[in-house]
Amino acid sequence: MNMSEKPLRVGLAGLGTVGAGVVKLLDENAELVQRRASRPIVITAVSARDRSRDRGIDLGRFAWEDNAPDLAARDDVDAVVELIGGSDGPALATARATFNAGKGLVTANKAMLAHHGLDLSALAEKSGSALKFEAAVAGGIPVIKGLREGLAANRVDAVYGILNGTCNFILSAMEQDGKPFAEVLAEAQALGYAEADPTFDIDGIDAAHKLSILSALAFGTRLNFPAVSIAGIRNVSPTDIDYARALGYRIRLIGLAKMEAGGLFQRVHPCLVPLNHPLAHVTSSLNAVVAEGNYVGRLLFQGRGAGEGPTASAVVADLVDVARGEWGAPFAMPAASLTDAPPADPAQHVGRYYIRLTVVDRPGVLADVTAVLRDYEVSVESVIQRGGAPDGAVYFVLTTHAGPQRAVTDALDRLAALDSVTTPPVMMHILDL
């Protein structure tokens, strides 16, 4: 047997939904994977918290390690797949042990990469090992490979998209059924689209982890997760979804990264997406990422962003690259070449905005509102005034022309202090790319 025929022997850490999916995929597609990798890819050892749980797969053929980092030290393991999750703890210990052993790592762990990706990249380069993480962002959609390889010749001007399937499912269902957020969240949990504790998803943290990884790849910058401005979807109401529809938009949780004059702008917020933009038509639990290259133009990557099949597909695709010996710098260039871009001040970001005010129904209120907006130099593009607000109040909804965010937030602070404004103002960004 020559070297190209020797199997790539894999230690699998984590046997949840995705881990079981990796085992199933390698069983079902073994012959095809072998032909594409020019060698077999076989799991030799596994690790998980519970040996006794029935996962619907035969685990008796694999060696078992109770301590996941010990997989890296085994003589019958050439590469480790980390599917434990969490930014620190056993996942990080397994990653470091793998590089210290001079072996390749494939991971789906966006939290670990967002917090420790730079250090892990440097360790991988020092040991001459692979660090592959296609499954960490957008499940089975090859957006990491697309940015790192397909756009290698382009200056990327912006990368943005729908990065969390749970939020997209909830917003799509609210849009379709007119139900409030809490009710749709409960339904999503019952259907398995949302976790029992959905905080990371609905508060935008999961999407922000993924955005920070995409930013590093797109702009050649050091990962800076703390610099991401984050707001989730808890406060999106059916009222706002209805007004967005009337104005020609749909509301989506959008992660956006863009290099601006003041530095790198990174934001995860609910946005009004124009109906003529492809992201407005990404529904249910699908993910989509848009990259804008200066020579290639707009590229759209869309598909299933989570779940057993898509994520296992991305993991095994990375293993094929490891088996071929095909990998480069994890973030498209050596870690030392990544620049330390200053974070842009969100308050200085120029954009368009949706504003909803709930005001008492009496003469002069409209004049008071427009006077405040004039004072803060907020230019109004469109206005809708309708009844239907609680306690006989009316809704005053407007969109703005492009302007700095600080002018809008300062104006809203002043409006909130008016006795005619009965509830805190609602403000959302309008996607204008």
Closest CA to 80 of 89, 90, 264, 361: 90
How many angstroms separate the CA atoms of 116 and 114, rounded?
A: 6
In tens, the pLDDT along 326-349 reads 999 999 999 999 999 999 999 999
CATH 3.30.70.260 range(s) for the chain read 349-430
> What is the tens place of the pLDDT at every residue in 195-215?
889 999 999 999 999 999 999
Lowest mean pLDDT among 100-104, 149-153, 224-228, 390-394: 390-394
E-strand stretches of 114-248: 131-132, 156-162, 229-230
Nearest to 357 by CA among 322, 326, 399: 399
Question: Which range has the worst mean pLDDT, 63-67, 306-310, 405-409, 411-415?
Answer: 306-310
**Residue 50: pLDDT over 90:** no
Find tokens 């071929």 and name the residue.
Answer: 324
Q: Residues spanned by CATH 3.30.360.10 within the chain?
A: 143-304
Helices (H), 265-327: 308-324
Q: Which residues 6+ apart lie within 8 Å of 190 measured at CB?
A: none
Q: Is 140:311 a contact under the CB 8 Å cutoff?
A: yes
- In 3-state terms, what secondary structure has residue 43? strand
Cβ(166)–Cβ(181) below 8 Å: no
CATH of 349-430, one of 3.40.47.10, 3.50.50.60, 3.30.70.260, 3.40.50.1820: 3.30.70.260
User: 3-138+313-322 architecture in CATH?
Assistant: 3-Layer(aba) Sandwich (3.40)
- Let me know the angle formed at the C-alpha of 235 by 238 and 203, rounded to the nearest 5 degrees: 130
Residues linked to residue 363 through DSSP beta bridges, in sequence order: none
pLDDT band at 4 (very low <50, low <70, confident <90, very high): low
Residue % of the chain over a pLDDT of 70: 99
Query: Which residues belong to the active site?
Result: 210
Mean pLDDT of 163-172: 96
Q: Average pLDDT, whole number, for the chain?
A: 95
Residue 292, CA distances (Å) to 153, 156, 281, 344 in order: 12, 6, 18, 19
Dump pLDDT digits (tens) for 61-97.
999 999 999 999 999 999 999 999 999 999 999 999 9
Cα 60 from Cα 44, distance rounded (Å): 11
Q: How many CB atoms lie within 10 A of CB 61?
A: 11
- Say how far apart CA 265 and CA 232 lie, in whole Å: 17
84, 89, 92, 93 alpha-carbon torsion, rounded to 10°? -110
Are the beta carbons of 36 and 321 closer than 8 angstroms?
A: no
Do the beta carbons of residue 275 and residue 246 sit within 8 Å? no
Helix and strand numbers, DSSP H then E, in the chain: 13, 17
Contacts of 257 (CB under 8 A, 6+ apart): 158, 159, 160, 211, 214, 215, 218, 219, 264, 265, 266, 267
First-to-final CA distance of the chain? 54
Write down the pTM of the prediction. Answer: 0.94
* CATH number for the segment(s) 143-304: 3.30.360.10
DSSP codes joined into one string, 54-80 = --SS--TTSEE-SSGGGGGG-TT-SEE
Start and end residues for every CATH 3.40.50.720 domain found in the chain: 3-138+313-322
pLDDT at position 3: 47
As a whole number of angstroms, the distance between CA 121 and CA 109 comes to 14
User: Tokens 């922000």 appear where?
Assistant: 208
